Structure 1
Amino acid sequence: MKLKQIHIYGYGRLHDFTADNLSDLQLFYGENEAGKSTIMSFIHSILFGFPTLQQSELRYEPKTQSSYGGKLIFDTEKYGEVVIERVKGKAAGDVTVLLEDGPAEASDFLPKLLNGMDKKMYRSIFSFDLQGLQEIQHLKEEEIGKYLIAAATIGSDGLLRAEQQIQKELQELFKPGGRRPILNDLLKNLRQQDQQLKRAKQENAAYESLLTEIQKINSRVEATKEFLKQKKIKSEAVNELFKRWPLIMEKDQIKQRLLELGPVHFPADGLKRLEKYHDRLLELSSTLQTVHQRIRSIEHEIKENALRQEFDLNKAQIFVNEWPQQEQGLRELSNLDHSIAEERKKFDAFLAELHYPAKMVEKINSLNLGIDMKARMTETLQQYIRSEDRLKDLADRLKDGRKVVIDLENRCKEIEQQFVSESVFKEWRIHYEEQASTASLKEEKSKLEKEIEELEKRKKHEKDLLHKKKRQSLIVSATFLFISLGMLIWSFISKQWSMLFAAILGMTFSGYFIRKVEGTGIDFITETLDGKRRGLQKLEEQLKRAAGDNHITHQYEDQQRLRIKWKEDYARLQDEKQRVAEMENSFHQLRRIVEVEERKLNEIKAELGLDEGFSHLKMEDAFSMLKNLQSISCQLNEAMAKKERLQKEQGKWTEGLFQFLSNVGEPVHEPAQAVYFLQETLKKEQEKKIVIKELEKKFSELNIDVLQLKNEDSAIRSNMKKLFEAAQVDDEEDFRKKAKLSEEKNILLERLALLEGQLGEIMNPFHTQEEIQTEIKYLKAEIEKKSQLLEEDRNSLASLNQKLSFLEEGGTYTEQLHLFRQMRSTFNEESRNWAKLAIALKLLEKIMKKYKEGRFPQVIRQAAEYFSFLTDHEYIHLHVKADGNLAVERKDRVLFAPEELSKGTGEQLYIAIRLGLVHVMKKEYPFPVIIDDGFVNFDQARTKRMLELVQTISLDTQVLLFTCHRHIAGQFSEDRIFHLQQRLPTLNLTE
């Protein structure tokens, strides 16, 4: 999967940015702020979506224009060329995918293309920068090895951190032998509560007996309270009845009088209504006389304001209404004359500026000046300008290239002049090789001198040791010899021949021991030392003979450097010649393209009626002028037609106006004067019409008022008759008598309602006040008796509660049981949390184990090869020890932990592991590798080896390098470098 093209519509400070024909190993070189990080982020965003507003990652939304997004073009083995475009839309952007055979559904295709890869996983494996390298320096020494192992399994330490976090939470919940963890503390409290529950269970029997007795007394107390409550309510009711006895007696008397009166039929407010009817009849009679007088006055005014019959108001109004439009028409005619004159001036000016031939003026309206023609002209002109600019640029580059070729040829000739003949050079090379053997002689001499020095030290040590042993053996031998000599003299004197023989043996043994001590290994050291000295003497003689050839050695080295320099310059000369030849070929092709485009422009000029010598650069302006001429011509034709139409309309309207005025008897010869006469006449007639309309309206309203007054008079008289019928009387006098009886009854009813409101729904089972007093005394005695019993039960209840409180000081059995179950529930809940974390930890361990057993060994083997190459085989192997930590083996078989390596070597190890992981996963995930300034902490030799390794990896995996360092860019050929400038124009690698 190779990235071929990057096209940014708008992303950060990049706008309309294009990078084509990206190679397998592509270097993006630019200074700080040139856009390297922006391009890396753009690749991530197009593949996996723009960062959302809630994420901390930069979104790189453009500040100066609205376009946001772009596209990437990949070349894949399975799908061919794939175009992935993402632009501003929903949270992660709107993405479209285009395959060679048409569009594809992005939501289904992208996960398939990326094989389930997400942004975090991609950045942890295939994309890394200086920040990722610096993370290693911030880790603790004991964490570096684990971090590198995690990088070799999944590309980052994500699972490692998750494992550490779960382990920490597990220890916070439970720790064997611990006291502070939550589960340890809960378990301790649960055991204590279990003991308290057992003690409470023993006291529960006496407790239950007290509870039963208290419950029984409480029931009796509640029953007594209820009895006293009912008796008190009844006593209060009887006392209230005694207090209201006079009101009860008054109520009975009122009811008796109402029975005597019986039913009285009289309408409500009968007298008031009757008086009201009399007053209204008088008002109606007076008002009716006034209305008849006003009717006669209005009839007279209508006759005085009669309209002229011969004047047609509607037709006159039409002429008046049309007059503003006719005035507007007159003004338009004047404006049209002015506009026509101005447009003719513009038309003539454009023709003069274009030097347009007179024979083509009539054909202007038929010219093809549409969008297609403009697009064709613009595209051809732009292609011509672009090709001409490229031709000039290529000519300059060709001139520079030829100059470089001449310079290189001269340099090669100068170097060739300094060459010696081949025979002399061969003789010098023989001397140089002999001189090279001198270096080995010097090394051998140094080695012999060290060996001689060691042997002399050993010889001195052996001499000291021999002298010490000899002194010790002499003391022992002399002592033994003295004893043997004494035995010899004694045995000879005493004639003890057996002792004499033993003394002789002792003296013989002493002499032998002394000789044995003298025959040690120092002779062997002396012989070896003499041999080494003879060898050293021979080497010194050889070195003296070779010392006279140093001058020839220097001359040979100078010639060797000249020949290497000549080869480099000659190779560069051949490259430059090839490059110049390619540029010459491109120059001829581009010149033919320019000629073709120029012919196309001449054809367009002919179609537009322009002279062939007309400037190419002014064609767009000429097109705009022709467009304006065409527009002006159309406008002139439309203005002339409109002028003719307006003149006809004006004549027809004026003729109708004069005809109408002659019929009325007012001959007028000026349209404005005629319209003024019509306006004045209309005003007067309309005023009369309004007056007549108002008078007729008032006349109609007065007739309606007369009718309403008569109807009201009849209605009032009918209502008075109904009022008498409701009171069941025939005349007004009987009506007034009935009103007095109705008033008395109403007063009694009001008093009765007041008494019933005061007494309410009171029950009266008594006939006299004495019966009430007897009932009051009885209820009082019952209440006193039950109150005394209630007081006795309350005293007993207090005593029992005091006994119960002694048992409840430590809590009842039920409370202890409830507390125990609550604590057990809490313990079980925390235990479940601990179990979840333990299962999660186990799953993580299985995942890590799966990675280590499957992918990890392959990664380590490949990383070891890369690391050995990067360190110039100083470190040859990577090992995973039994405790799971990583170890690095040096070529002298010494093991080092990762944290013991230097900063640069540690970074080399990290990069080797990351690249090893990429190598193992390339079949499953064949994605490009992105590296941003990953080698800045390396010295020149390490950087060179790193770039050689990247070159090797790029043979089957595309690598995109981003750097701001010139010395790194200098290691690449120009065709592999993409230069990023501070101002970022649209670039194309093929140009």
Structure 2
Amino acid sequence: MKVKEVLILKIIEIQIYGYGKLVDKTYSQIGDFQVFYGENEAGKSTIMAFIHAIFFGFPPKQQNESRYEPKEGSKYGGKLTVLFPGRGKAVIERVKGKSAGNVSVRMEDGTAGSEALLKELLHDMDKKMFQSIFSFNVHGLQNIHQMNGEDLGRLLFSAGALGTDQLLLAEQTLQKELESRFKPNGKKPALNQKISEVKELYKKLQMAEQKNEEYWHFIKEIEKLEEQIKRMQKDLAESKENVHTLTSWQQIEPVFKENKLLEKEWYMYKDLVFPIDGLARYERLLEGQRPLLAKQSALKKQITQLSEEIRASQANKEILSAEKEITSISEQLPLMQKLREEEKTLSLKCANIESDIQDLNERLNITLSDDEIASIDTSIHKKKQVSEAEDEYKRLVAKKTDLDEQFNESTRELDLLEKKVNELKALLLSPKEENELQKKQDEIEERNKLQQELDEMRKKQKAENSGRTGKRQQRKPKNDTMPAILLACLFLVLCVWSLLQQEWLIGIIGAAGLLFVIYHFILKSKAKMDEGDTAGLEQRLIDIEKRLEQLPEHDINNMAVLKAQNDERKQKLKELEIYLQQEILSNEKIISGFERWEVAFQQCKKKLQEHCAHLHLPLHNEETLEQLGEAYRLLEQLKTAVKGKRHIVQEHAQTSESLKMLQEKIDKLAERFNLHHELSYAEKVYELRKMLKDEIAKKGEEEEAARELKKLEEEEHTYLLEISQYQEELSELMKQGNAADQEHFRELAKQAERKEQIEARKNALQMQLQMTTLSAEEMEYLAGKKKEEQTLEDLKGLVDSLENSIPDCQKKLAELKYEAKLIEEGGTHADLLHRYKLIKAELDRDAKEWAKYAAAQHILKKTIAAFKDERLPKIIAKAEEHLSILTDGEYVRIWPKQEESGFYIQNKRKTSFEVYELSQAAKEQVYVALRLALAETAYEKENYPLIIDDSFVNFDHNRTERMMKLLRSLTNRQILFFTCHQHLLSQFYDKEIIELTAPLLTKS
């Protein structure tokens, strides 16, 4: 059975081995909208933390977050069964091991892995990001009312950007760092203090410099004196160098002059070029040449005689020239037989593959030429497209079956609900029967009230009769009404007079007297009324008894049962009508699903038909669409068969051509050497090989004689080369010496000997000249100069003078430096300069540190601005939809502030508010709208479940209903809702609720 394709990431089962207080718990068949209900400490937060731990690992021990390790030694961890879009079902198990636990992942297709595979399935989502966007609780909302207006706006802006307040915290941290370092008008920050200190030190430094004019005068004198000493030391070194030069010249002058004379004599022979030991070499060459000439003459006679013998007998060159051809066809006789056999085999293969091609064409129901078949695109890309299109077609067919099942199930449920509704309506009392029942109930209530009143009046009458008898005996018949009225008038006049005269004491006495008179008057009047009421009471008793006789008596128990049954049926009818309405909506969604399926199916069918057209397959055949992959495989086989056929045909042609060429070669050779044409190919080859063998034997004898001749010629050539070498060496010697004949050569030899003697002496003199420190230029200069003795004496005197003057200057320099040092040791200017540079360096360092934070703040603001321009509009558009639903259309617009982080909210009357001006519940609604919009838009591809833990407890009944309506509209992701409030359960169906009270928890 094909697994239905998953469109959202969905947790379908939670199995806990041991996590906190939960041990061996299983929650299965978890739906798209699932509610976990339980009282406090029932395990809601534990389950929520368990899901985070399985996905992202157990919390590290060094963190404050609880690890929920079982206290009773149970196995730590558990597993989740999750459906991943495009990947199918996966079982993720994490148990105790390393810090984050050992995790294993098993896919339904058999793939297994660990942390790497889990990260791939979760698209590298980390725990912090997941909790910030897809998992939130009541604390995120309750913290809102603790913030001022600006911080609240920034928090909501951060929630819209990242799902958390990270932007708010980062901006606040950077601002605090900047203000702790520098404020434009501040005094306490470090940079402000250092700037003030640098300014103060600079002023003091300028004052100290004004007092150091004498110091700078010493410094200038010291510099001048140091320059003078350097100049005198340089002159002294130059003078000493000149003295040394003249002394060296006096020692080397005779050698220099002798060398000059020898150079002049050597100039006479400078153009003479004669070989080294030339005369002796000439004599040796003449002596070695004589025996070689005699041997060369004897060899020449032997060569002439052998050449005449070779010309007498020669082999047939035509047959020998065809040796390669004859040898080649002899070796190719087995190949000829093999080619004949291959020709037959290839013919048979060609027939078989042609039959296969015909069978494939018949199975595919096509008639295409080989060229058309070869042109069909069977690339990997095309194969992938065909496979995807076929899978989509099969998926849509399977989806149609699922939709049919859902529609049938929904229809059956509708019929069942309608039947129950009609049955209940039939059992309900008619309006007339309800009116009769209500009338009887009114009569019963009236009878009970009258009976109660009658009993009370009788008791009262009895009590009054006993008391009235005593009062009548004591009362005297007199009329005291007039004195009371006169007394009251007197007290009233007294109160008025006191007000006019402002006599407050008399006014108080008059008011007290007036109140006393009125009180006694009321008591007397009430006594008279009681006497009058006695007659009315008796008349009321008679009326009640008369009315009781008129009212009929009814069976109270039966009427109560009948009323309760009718009310219960009405309530049940109301619930059934709600379920009926929901089922109708579900049915309409299924019908919409049919419509979407029809559009997708037609598009898929069109795509398959396009693939069929490209593959030259028949379009009218429905089976071709369903089995396009099989048809594509047959086309690949057909294309391979056509290629194979072409290869075999080509190979058959090549084999036939090779066989024909061999036969033609044998026929040409047989005709060339006059063999009988009726001989077989094997016989022709045999005759040719025999003829070739005879001529090869003749050629061998001829070659042997030729080798002997060649050997003699080579020996003769060797002697000639040696003779030629002697002659060349003799000519080269004459040429090197530029001699015309033998006598001239011997004269030149004597001149060359004298030149060698001169060069030997010159070399000796040159060695002495090189040992001196004088250069050739200096010696040439000194040789042309006169009166060297006088010049040497002058230089020695100058050296003595400079050696005496320099110590005096150095002594004066030391005295000046000592005076300057005394001023420097005062220390005021140096200390100030050192302190100034030190503080300025610290200021530069702190300023660079401040600039880093300023740059980070600038980048953060640019990031926020980019977010406002690019990402935020899409989130806000979706958040406005959510906010309109949550507030029942009261608030309809959200837009960000332009110059800062925060939002304005606009109601339906176009009145704008800042977020802090809203009520607590409205702030929470804005926060929830932004969080859900962030998950839907900025992270719309990450369809992770939404995990909500009692985040709407501050909402009233209407807001809660709208919140649930909004959550149910989020059809593209699973929602897990944790709550401990029982009144919220009325918002959900029974099948959506899991009670966290049973020992073993499973979803029914």
TM bucket normalised to smaller: 0.5 to 0.7
Contact preservation (8 Å) 1:868, 1:876: yes
Offset at residue 201 of structure 1 (A): 1.5
Q: Secondary structure at the match of 2:239?
A: helix
- For 2:177, the equivalent position in structure 1 comes to 168
Aligned pairs for 1:588-667 (under 5 A) are: 620=631, 649=661, 651-660=663-672, 662=674
Offset at residue 149 of structure 1 (A): 0.5
Contact preservation (8 Å) 2:8, 2:943: no
Aligned pairs for 1:347-362 (under 5 A) are: none
- For 2:325, the equivalent position in structure 1 comes to 318
Select which of 326, 331, 344 maps to 2:338: 331
- After superposition, the C-alpha distances for 1:198-242 in whole angstroms (9 at most, x for unaligned) are 1221222x1233234334433443343234323322333344456
Offset at residue 665 of structure 1 (A): 14
Code of the aligned partner of 2:671: Q
Code of the aligned partner of 1:801: K
Contact preservation (8 Å) 1:381, 1:616: yes
Compare 151-160 and 30-39 and name the one that shifted more. Answer: 30-39
Offset at residue 805 of structure 1 (A): 1.0
Offset at residue 334 of structure 1 (A): 0.9
Pick closer, same or farther for the CA change 1:393–1:416 going to 2, 3 Å.
Answer: same
Aligned counterparts of 1:215 and 1:224: Cα–Cα separation in 2: 15
* Identity in percent: 13
Q: Secondary structure at the match of 2:429?
A: coil
Aligned counterparts of 1:695 and 1:151: Cα–Cα separation in 2: 114
Select which of 724, 740, 750 maps to 2:763: 750
Pick closer, same or farther for the CA change 1:207–1:970 going to 2, 3 Å.
Answer: same
Pick closer, same or farther for the CA change 1:661–1:386 going to 2, 3 Å.
Answer: farther
Contact preservation (8 Å) 1:867, 1:912: yes
1:948 maps to 2:957: no
Offset at residue 310 of structure 1 (A): 5.0
Select which of 572, 577, 580 maps to 1:567: 577
Contact preservation (8 Å) 2:880, 2:893: yes
Aligned counterparts of 2:942 and 2:739: Cα–Cα separation in 1: 112
Pick closer, same or farther for the CA change 1:561–1:367 going to 2, 3 Å.
Answer: farther
Select which of 924, 927, 943 maps to 1:910: 927
Select which of 271, 274, 280 maps to 1:275: 280
Select which of 220, 223, 231 maps to 2:239: 231
Give TM-score, length-normalised by structure 1.
0.53
- After superposition, the C-alpha distances for 1:719-751 in whole angstroms (9 at most, x for unaligned) are 555577669994576556545544443333223
Aligned counterparts of 1:185 and 1:199: Cα–Cα separation in 2: 21
Pick closer, same or farther for the CA change 1:692–1:790 going to 2, 3 Å.
Answer: farther
Aligned counterparts of 1:778 and 1:594: Cα–Cα separation in 2: 117
Select which of 546, 556, 564 maps to 1:554: 564
Aligned counterparts of 1:587 and 1:960: Cα–Cα separation in 2: 17
Offset at residue 639 of structure 1 (A): 8.1
Code of the aligned partner of 2:768: L
- After superposition, the C-alpha distances for 1:231-287 in whole angstroms (9 at most, x for unaligned) are 322333344456x2xx54455467668878994589456560121122223334444
Offset at residue 172 of structure 1 (A): 1.2
Aligned counterparts of 2:824 and 2:722: Cα–Cα separation in 1: 96
Pick closer, same or farther for the CA change 1:519–1:183 going to 2, 3 Å.
Answer: same
Contact preservation (8 Å) 2:149, 2:916: yes
Offset at residue 322 of structure 1 (A): 5.0
Aligned counterparts of 1:847 and 1:255: Cα–Cα separation in 2: 91
Aligned counterparts of 1:588 and 1:756: Cα–Cα separation in 2: 114
Aligned counterparts of 2:374 and 2:445: Cα–Cα separation in 1: 84
Give TM-score, length-normalised by structure 2.
0.53
- For 1:933, the equivalent position in structure 2 comes to 946
Aligned counterparts of 2:201 and 2:180: Cα–Cα separation in 1: 23
Q: Secondary structure at the match of 1:962?
A: coil
Pick closer, same or farther for the CA change 1:11–1:575 going to 2, 3 Å.
Answer: closer
Aligned counterparts of 2:923 and 2:201: Cα–Cα separation in 1: 55
Offset at residue 289 of structure 1 (A): 4.5
Offset at residue 337 of structure 1 (A): 2.5
Q: Secondary structure at the match of 1:199?
A: helix
Code of the aligned partner of 1:805: K
Aligned counterparts of 1:614 and 1:765: Cα–Cα separation in 2: 113
Pick closer, same or farther for the CA change 1:10–1:704 going to 2, 3 Å.
Answer: farther
Aligned counterparts of 2:625 and 2:350: Cα–Cα separation in 1: 27
Aligned counterparts of 1:778 and 1:368: Cα–Cα separation in 2: 115
- For 1:471, the equivalent position in structure 2 comes to none
Pick closer, same or farther for the CA change 1:660–1:381 going to 2, 3 Å.
Answer: same
Offset at residue 802 of structure 1 (A): 0.4
Code of the aligned partner of 2:428: F
- After superposition, the C-alpha distances for 1:437-492 in whole angstroms (9 at most, x for unaligned) are 9xxxxxxxxxxxxxxxxxxxxxxxxxxxxxxxxxxxxxxxxxxxxxxxxxxxxxxx
Offset at residue 810 of structure 1 (A): 5.7
Code of the aligned partner of 2:976: H
Code of the aligned partner of 2:152: L
- For 1:962, the equivalent position in structure 2 comes to 973
Contact preservation (8 Å) 1:724, 1:735: yes
Pick closer, same or farther for the CA change 1:290–1:868 going to 2, 3 Å.
Answer: same
Offset at residue 822 of structure 1 (A): 9.9
1:214 maps to 2:222: yes
- For 1:788, the equivalent position in structure 2 comes to 804
Aligned counterparts of 1:589 and 1:214: Cα–Cα separation in 2: 102
Offset at residue 801 of structure 1 (A): 0.6
Aligned pairs for 1:183-262 (under 5 A) are: 183-204=192-213, 206-241=214-249, 244=251, 248-249=253-254, 252=257
Aligned pairs for 1:753-764 (under 5 A) are: 753-759=766-772, 760=774, 761=776
Offset at residue 558 of structure 1 (A): 0.3
Pick closer, same or farther for the CA change 1:961–1:592 going to 2, 3 Å.
Answer: closer
- For 1:309, the equivalent position in structure 2 comes to 316
- For 1:534, the equivalent position in structure 2 comes to none
Contact preservation (8 Å) 2:32, 2:973: yes
Q: Secondary structure at the match of 1:308?
A: coil
- For 1:129, the equivalent position in structure 2 comes to 133
Q: Secondary structure at the match of 1:312?
A: helix
Aligned pairs for 1:271-420 (under 5 A) are: 272-291=277-296, 304=310, 308-322=315-329, 327-341=334-348, 400=409, 403-404=412-413, 407-408=416-417, 410-412=419-421, 414-416=423-425, 418-420=427-429
Contact preservation (8 Å) 1:408, 1:570: yes
Q: Secondary structure at the match of 1:802?
A: helix
- For 2:816, the equivalent position in structure 1 comes to 800
Pick closer, same or farther for the CA change 1:381–1:615 going to 2, 3 Å.
Answer: closer
- For 1:77, the equivalent position in structure 2 comes to none
Q: Secondary structure at the match of 1:196?
A: helix
Unaligned 5+ runs, structure 2: 11-30, 35-79, 89-109, 112-128, 447-504, 524-543, 545-552, 611-616, 906-913, 979-983, 990-1004
1:423 maps to 2:432: yes
Pick closer, same or farther for the CA change 1:367–1:168 going to 2, 3 Å.
Answer: closer
Pick closer, same or farther for the CA change 1:148–1:647 going to 2, 3 Å.
Answer: same
Aligned counterparts of 2:644 and 2:833: Cα–Cα separation in 1: 104
Offset at residue 823 of structure 1 (A): 7.1
Offset at residue 795 of structure 1 (A): 1.3
Contact preservation (8 Å) 1:251, 1:755: no
- For 1:55, the equivalent position in structure 2 comes to none
Pick closer, same or farther for the CA change 1:945–1:754 going to 2, 3 Å.
Answer: same
- After superposition, the C-alpha distances for 1:743-800 in whole angstroms (9 at most, x for unaligned) are 4433332233233333444669999xxx988877775555444323322221121111
Aligned counterparts of 1:587 and 1:884: Cα–Cα separation in 2: 45
- After superposition, the C-alpha distances for 1:331-356 in whole angstroms (9 at most, x for unaligned) are 13213324544666787799999999
After superposition, the CA RMSD in angstroms is 7.8
Compare 387-396 and 559-568 and name the one that shifted more. Answer: 387-396
- For 1:103, the equivalent position in structure 2 comes to none
Aligned pairs for 1:804-815 (under 5 A) are: 804-809=820-825
Aligned pairs for 1:420-569 (under 5 A) are: 420-427=429-436, 554-568=564-578
